[in-house]
């Protein structure tokens, strides 16, 4: 899936805006780089942590908390 499509899916799934998505991806990327286990069947040595984080959010495997929902 292309990055633009994956981003759009993540925005829709998490119901947040792009700035909140950027913060969520950054936080999850840092967690993955510090040893957190991915919820996807992906080798972190072959994929970028930010890409994995975005995929996790797009698939609804990671819940984005602490943000105001947009309506």
User: So what's the pLDDT on residue 70?
Assistant: 52
Write the CB contacts of 61 (distance below 8 Å, at least 6 apart in sequence): 39, 40
Mean pLDDT along residues 28-35: 95
Region label for 60, one of left (φ > 0), alpha (ψ between -120 and 50) or beta (otherwise): left
User: So what's the pLDDT on residue 57?
Assistant: 96
Residue of 57, 50, 49 lying closest to 8 (CA atoms)? 57
Mean pLDDT across the chain, nearest whole number? 90
Q: Is the pLDDT of residue 14 over 60?
A: yes
Mean pLDDT along residues 40-57: 93
User: So what's the pLDDT on residue 31?
Assistant: 96
Q: What are phi and psi of 63, to 5 degrees?
A: -90, 130
């Amino acid at each position: 899936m292309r990055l633009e499509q994956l981003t759009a899916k993540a925005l829709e799934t998490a119901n947040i805006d792009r700035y909140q998505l950027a913060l969520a991806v950054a936080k999850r990327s840092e967690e993955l780089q510090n040893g957190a286990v991915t919820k996807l069947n992906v080798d972190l040595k072959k994929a970028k942590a930010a890409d994995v984080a975005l995929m996790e959010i797009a698939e609804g495997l990671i819940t984005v908390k602490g943000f105001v929902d947009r309506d």
